[in-house]
Amino acid sequence: MKKLLILFACLPLLGACTQTEPVSGNRAAAIVAEIHNPRSKYVVVASHRGDWRNYPENSIAAIESVIGMGVDIMELDLKLTKDSVLVLCHDRTIDRTTSGKGRVCDITYDSIRRCVLKTGHGVKTTHRMPTLREALEVCKDRIVVNVDQGYEYYDLVLAVTEELGVTDQILIKGKRSTDAVAAKFAEHPRNMMYMPIIDILKPQGRALFAEYQEKGIAPLAYEVCWNKYTPEVKECMDKVVAGGSKLWVNSLWASLCGGLDDDAAFGGDPAEVYGKLVDMGATMIQTDRPELLISYLRSRGLHN
């Protein structure tokens, strides 16, 4: 059993056993090195759906914009078209984000490409919905990619990342059991980084965190979500940090971070929001206001 646990610890679930030094000039590799270093005080910034305030969410332009800002991780969502093409789309339908209508799974890729993307305010643009391949070609060596919605397409995603040579810079997350993740990773000789999502104040989240703790598995990072800061939340985050994992928090909206969200930071003092998250142990923060967060972190010497 001990031998099995040691082998399991070397799976890319933890992502530490086959890590190499960053290639010179490869910014993505440098970011990956920070993610693999639990002792680093550098706070990794993830931008939610790219720069969606200025460009359509999950678009190539939104990706290019956050790369220019110095963001570390581009968070994106995936859906599969009727003809099995992975595209960047958060919703099950294209109604909100494009000029078209219908469920992604019912529409061919060519039909989706005839539609244009809309801004967050519903204004049509000239941008088109990109494929995963197109997005990763832009991100290669430049920024780490977090696949949020998309674990169900793991094999398809991995096939694209392997072909493009970007597997090492992809972080995928989910709420599966440790056994399920280990079984999936055992199917492939190489895997993406993996991070469990822990809704610590919900029964399923508590059970999943307890499973990791009881098995002595320290994943590369945990995403911890909570709507109210309680002793249970503090205990969870303290255990994450003490166990050598990175702590990912979301400042997107109040229900994910107990009110320590981007709008509160934008309308008040960023130190009272982002500063508290950092003091709680957060070393990875997903945001809807990347420029504001990066500016604050740089004022404290926590980002470059």
**pTM score, whole prediction:** 0.92
The token pair that represents 66 in the structure block: 């956050």
Q: Are the C-beta atoms of residues 240 and 224 closer than 8 Å to each other?
A: yes
CA proximity to 191, closest of 4, 11, 7: 11
What DSSP state is assigned to residue 7? H
The token pair that represents 273 in the structure block: 């929001």
Instruction: Report residue 217: phi and psi, to 5°.
Output: -95, 125
Instruction: Output the pLDDT for position 25.
Output: 73
CA angle 111, 114, 115 (to 5 degrees): 105
pLDDT in tens, 239-282: 999 999 999 999 999 999 999 999 999 999 999 999 999 999 99
- Segment 70-85 mean pLDDT: 98
pLDDT in tens, 116-127: 999 999 999 999
User: What are the residues whose beta carbons fall under 8 Å from the beta carbon of 258, sequence distance 6 or more?
Assistant: 226, 227, 228, 229, 233
pLDDT in tens, 174-217: 999 999 999 999 999 999 999 999 999 999 999 999 999 999 99
The gap between the terminal CA atoms of the chain, to the nearest Å, is: 43
User: What are the residues whose beta carbons fall under 8 Å from the beta carbon of 178, sequence distance 6 or more?
Assistant: 13, 211, 212, 215, 217
pLDDT in tens, 108-162: 999 999 999 999 999 999 999 999 999 999 999 999 999 999 999 999 999 999 9
Q: Where are the beta strands (DSSP E) in the chain?
A: 44-48, 73-76, 78-80, 86-88, 144-147, 170-174, 193-199, 221-225, 246-250, 284-287
> Quick one: CA torsion of 144, 67, 160, 98, rounded to 10 degrees?
120
Mean pLDDT of the chain: 93
Instruction: Output the pLDDT for position 12.
Output: 47
Q: Which amino acid is at 217?
A: I
Instruction: Output the pLDDT for position 280.
Output: 97
* Burial (0-12, 13-18, 19+ Cβ within 10 Å), 123: exposed
